[in-house]
């Protein structure tokens, strides 16, 4: 799509319900996948696809730092819906111990850019290339605020051309929660403990009354995204710069 076509498409899709957007996406794109960490919005999308009799393959980026409840939900969701599940982990790592051996303890504290690239950006890019992904369904919503406040239904990733489709872009958390309960959709047990947005265990907490939905992610920092939905080439350049600096410092020591 060029910019004018993209604008026209978004104007048309903005008037559609999420289920209609999903139908459009399935008809329009070969190489369509759902990318999810099994958050509430992603679970809604999976259920809507199932209701249409469709099974879109799923990409799950296992950072090796997910809550046990998230991994349990991934298993329950796959058993419930029977989708084709593709799990990608940080390069060269199968367990959390492998990750620590390669990167050291608490990399997210020492350099969150390197951490994000290692657990999300690089595995994501590897998944897209390995699976010949043309477009992905995501659960991002405008009501999550931050960088997502101006979210469109369809976006094209700068540099890579990857198409990202956000069928729930206009939904609120309450709409998502109501759908989950009304349709008996599997969800993360942490939601019953005050969590609303669940990421890695070390950077996620329950949301306090009156706080925004994603306030529990990277609390007390300005960070709002993990890097997966940022400019890939900018993230890679930042990662390489830090890696080179670390290697130079090691040689100078």
Residue with tokens 């958050």: 39
Return d(Cα 2, Cα 197) in angstroms, integer: 33
Q: Say how far apart CA 66 and CA 253 lie, in whole Å.
A: 35
Active-site residue identified among 168, 185, 226, 238:
226
93 is an active site residue: no
Alpha helices in the chain (DSSP H): 3-13, 18-28, 40-51, 68-81, 96-103, 107-110, 112-116, 122-131, 173-182, 232-252
The CA distance from 230 to 227, in Å, is 5
Q: Give the Cα separation of 182 and 14 in Å (integer).
A: 24
CB-based contact 143:213 (threshold 8 Å): yes
| DSSP secondary structure string for all residues of 139-179 | ---GGG-GGGTT--SEEE-TTT--EEE-TTTT--HHHHHHH
Task: Note whether 59 and 138 are within 8 A (CB).
Answer: no
As annotated, the active-site residues are: 226
């Amino acid at each position: 799509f060029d910019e004018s076509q993209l604008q026209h498409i978004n104007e048309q899709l903005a008037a559609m319900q999420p289920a209609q957007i999903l139908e459009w996406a399935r008809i329009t794109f070969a190489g369509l996948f759902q990318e999810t960490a099994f958050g509430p919005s992603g679970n809604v999308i999976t259920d809507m696809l199932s209701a249409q009799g469709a099974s879109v393959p799923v990409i799950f980026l296992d950072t090796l730092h997910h809550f046990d409840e998230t991994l349990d939900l991934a298993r329950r969701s796959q058993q419930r819906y029977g989708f084709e599940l593709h799990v990608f982990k940080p390069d060269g790592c199968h367990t959390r111990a492998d990750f620590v051996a390669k990167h050291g303890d608490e990399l997210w504290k020492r350099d969150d850019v390197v951490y994000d690239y290692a657990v999300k950006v690089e595995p994501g890019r590897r998944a897209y290339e390995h699976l010949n992904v043309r477009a992905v369904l995501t659960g991002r919503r405008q009501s999550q605020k931050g960088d997502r406040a101006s979210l469109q239904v369809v976006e094209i990733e700068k540099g890579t051309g990857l198409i990202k489709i956000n069928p729930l872009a206009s939904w609120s958390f309450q709409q998502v929660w109501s759908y989950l309960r009304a349709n008996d959709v599997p969800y993360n047990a942490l939601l019953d403990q005050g969590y609303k947005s669940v990421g890695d265990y070390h950077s996620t907490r329950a949301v306090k009354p009156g706080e925004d939905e994603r306030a529990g992610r990277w609390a007390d920092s300005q960070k709002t995204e993990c890097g997966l939905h940022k400019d890939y080439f900018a993230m890679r350049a930042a990662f390489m710069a830090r890696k080179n600096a670390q290697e130079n410092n090691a040689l100078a020591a």
